[in-house]
């Protein structure tokens, strides 16, 4: 299965499995971003050693990891252990052995990328909301947006700070532009307000956690692609 669906260069997230966390410190729950270097067999692969804050992350070899692969045919999951660390042509690698078979994965949680991106938001009009419920969504182009600041983004939603307070369980249209394949791409996505936080240290501002509603597969993959590319740029800056 691994050799059929996973290719060198595919992005992946990994973190210690829940079963391996019982005696581990809190920081071991962290998700790491990296990519596949080589697929050796259906149960063996090499991945690039994660780099964070210009330092290699030496993951322990005595625990099991969840691996989430972003491939051309979708998101896949398996579990694996690190069997060895090596260096080839000045590239630091980890050899991994699969312990749980590869399977297509529909996830609800995504890696969140911290950012500072200008965006707009506004509540949906009644006819827009009705069209959303009928899965025939349209939006009015002539209604102005409230200016906000996005502070993190993921494949599942965004978090932004605004002078306007949106109530929980309301639908908000979010507008923002991010580079995809080195070209700016504008997104207009509907989000459901999950949580609100009053920022005591910044009076008059409210933090909102938004979950995308009805986002298309291509749009979600473009957002994930943007996140991985920005992480790659960050790692490059930290190294140089």
pLDDT in tens, 161-192: 999 999 988 999 999 999 998 899 999 999 99
- Strand 91-104, strand 74-88: pairing: antiparallel
Instruction: State the Cα–Cα distance between residues 126 and 171, nearest whole angstrom.
Output: 10
168 secondary structure, DSSP code: T
**Residue 60 pLDDT > 60:** yes
The whole-number pLDDT of residue 22 equals 52
- The reply to whether the predicted model has a pTM over 0.75 is no
Determine the pLDDT at residue 20: 60
What is the pLDDT at residue 27? 46
The fold for domain 2-104 equals Pnp Oxidase; Chain A (2.30.110)
% of the chain exceeding 90 in pLDDT = 43
pLDDT computed for residue 230 by the predictor? 87
- Continuous H helices in 46-202: 126-133
Task: Give me the DSSP letters along 118-137.
Answer: EEEEEEPPHHHHHHHHTT--
Query: pLDDT (tens digit, 9 = 90+) per residue, 81-91?
Result: 999 999 888 89
Total residues belonging to the chain: 240
How many Cα atoms within 13 Å fall on the side-chain side of residue 156?
9
Confidence of residue 76 (pLDDT cuts 50, 70, 90): confident
pLDDT of residue 240: 60
Q: How many Cβ atoms from other residues are within 10 Å of residue 21's Cβ?
A: 14
**Which H or E run contains 213?**
strand 206-213
Query: From CA 125, how far away is CA 131, in angstroms rounded?
Result: 10
The listed CATH number (1.10.10.10, 3.50.50.60, 3.90.550.10, 2.40.10.220) that belongs to domain 113-235: 2.40.10.220
Nearest to 189 by CA among 166, 172, 208: 172
Q: Specify the pLDDT at position 26.
A: 46
Note whether 159 and 172 are within 8 A (CB).
Answer: no
Pairing verdict, β 113-123 and 91-104: unpaired
Residue ranges covered by each domain of the chain: 2-104, 113-235
């Amino acid at each position: 299965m691994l050799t059929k669906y996973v290719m060198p260069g595919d992005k992946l997230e990994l973190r210690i499995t829940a079963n391996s966390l019982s005696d581990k410190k809190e920081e071991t729950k962290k998700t790491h971003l990296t990519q596949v270097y080589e697929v050796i067999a259906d149960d063996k692969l090499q991945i690039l050693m994660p780099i964070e804050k210009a330092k290699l992350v030496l993951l322990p070899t005595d625990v099991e990891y969840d691996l989430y692969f972003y491939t051309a045919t979708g998101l896949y999951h398996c579990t694996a252990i690190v069997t060895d660390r090596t260096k080839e042509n000045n590239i630091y690698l980890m050899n991994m052995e699969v312990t749980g078979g590869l399977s297509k994965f529909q996830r609800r949680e995504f890696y969140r990328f911290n950012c500072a991106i200008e965006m707009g938001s506004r509540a949906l009009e009644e006819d827009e909301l009705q069209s959303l419920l009928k899965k025939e969504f349209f939006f009015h182009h002539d209604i102005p947006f409230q200016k906000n600041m996005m502070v993190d983004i993921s494949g599942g939603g965004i978090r932004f700070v605004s002078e306007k307070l949106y109530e929980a369980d309301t639908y908000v249209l979010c507008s923002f532009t991010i580079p995809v394949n080195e070209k700016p791409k504008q997104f207009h996505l509907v989000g459901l307000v999950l949580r609100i936080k009053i920022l005591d240290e910044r009076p008059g501002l409210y933090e909102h956690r938004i979950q995308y509603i009805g986002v298309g597969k291509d749009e979600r993959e473009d957002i994930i692609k943007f996140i991985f590319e920005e992480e790659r740029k960050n790692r490059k800056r930290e190294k140089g």
